[in-house]
A and B are shown apart, each in its own frame.
Chain A
Amino acid sequence: MIYNLFIFSKDNKCLYYYEWNRPLKADSLDYEKENLSGLLIAICDFVSKISPIKPSFFKSYSTSSYKLHYYESLSGFRMAILTDPTTGDLTDSLEYIYGELFTNYVMKNPLYEIGQEIKSQKFIYELDLYISKLPFFK
């Protein structure tokens, strides 16, 4: 089951947020948007530093009730998807969202201003369509 998704810029700004299933609503979504990005950067840094085998990069963390999958590009695009803990590796999906959807419908959209919140209807539509068709969506 896929709960929700965050996209952050390299300056920790939340560019996009969407929730498909979120039984426990956020106390403050703004708090989450402002703090999750910084936390993830700290995790990436720490995780790579203590790695017993280099090189190493952060992929996901699991709790008793959810799993957060992380993806980051060299260009500063960063994304976190929260799913139920049984969901496996999402690398392929994350790469698709970045390489096809974000690249084509955000970065190559002449009407999108770089660094701003993502509101492009095509992106939102295609992302929703893609996610809701994933086998582990529900």
Chain B
Amino acid sequence: MSVSESIWSLLLNEFVNYVVSSVSEPSEPTKEENNEDFINDPEDQKKITKAKLSNAGYQIGQKLADRYTKDRSRFREQVDIIRFLCKDFWTLLFGKNVDNLKTNHRGMWIIRDENFRPLRNLSFPFDGKNLKKFDLNENQIQIVQRFLYFPCGLIRGALSALGIDADVDVHCSLIPACEFTVISKESN
């Protein structure tokens, strides 16, 4: 059975909004033990936002990767895992294959998607200068990051389920393109 991609995308955006606002201004006291954790520092707020969204993505990435590979034999080589991620898994979640993959053959991969679906509808107010330039300033990069923590988690979770324990980071300076950096924890 299928649902529309839009309802998932809208749901995720609401989740991001919820996490961001609940981290920066918890309203009434929620649970007793959380009171002393009221976070004032924006850097800390960012870390917690990132952790919450990334971990949620991680859980889901793991489960999905498990489900979609249970009929296949275990992947033997890392290159097969990465290929599955960049083609099958990416298509499942984001509707297309990745556009570019680079590796140093020692546990680091850089995955580039020129038209990343979660970022396709995202757009900042026009500053009046160059209509064709979609480059982001520092502040805008920070805002876009919030929408990328969850996908990072998805990738990290999927890789973990398939046998690669890695850190996943993402950079976006020109929507809707973005670049994921995957560094296997075993690499040096």
Contacts and interface: CB of A to CB of B under 8 A. Distances in A.
In the complex, are there CB atoms of A and B closer than 8 Å? yes
Interface of A: 104-105, 108-112, 119-125, 128
B130 to A, nearest CB: 10
Contacts of A120: 123-126
Main secondary structure, interface of B, reads loop
A119 B13 CA distance: 19
Interface of B: 6, 9-10, 13, 16-17, 120-127, 131-132, 134, 143, 147
Given A108-B10, A110-B16, A121 B121 contact: no
Nearest to B175: A122
A108 B10 CA distance: 7
Given A121-B131, A125-B131, A125-B132, A111 B10 contact: no
A124 B121 contact: no
B163 to A, nearest CB: 34
Nearest to A122: B123
A122 B124 CA distance: 8
A105 B132 CA distance: 15
Most buried by A among B120, B123, B124, B134: B123
Contacts, number: 47
Given A121-B134, A125-B131, A128-B131, A111 B6 contact: no
A9 to B, nearest CB: 17
A110 B6 CA distance: 12
B123 A121 contact: yes
Contacts of B143: 111
Given A108-B6, A108-B9, A110-B13, A123 B123 contact: yes
B6 A121 contact: no
Contacts of A128: 131
Nearest to A119: B125
Nearest to A128: B131
Contacts of B134: 121-122
Nearest to A117: B125
Nearest to B125: A119
A119 B126 CA distance: 6
A111 B9 contact: no
Nearest to B147: A110
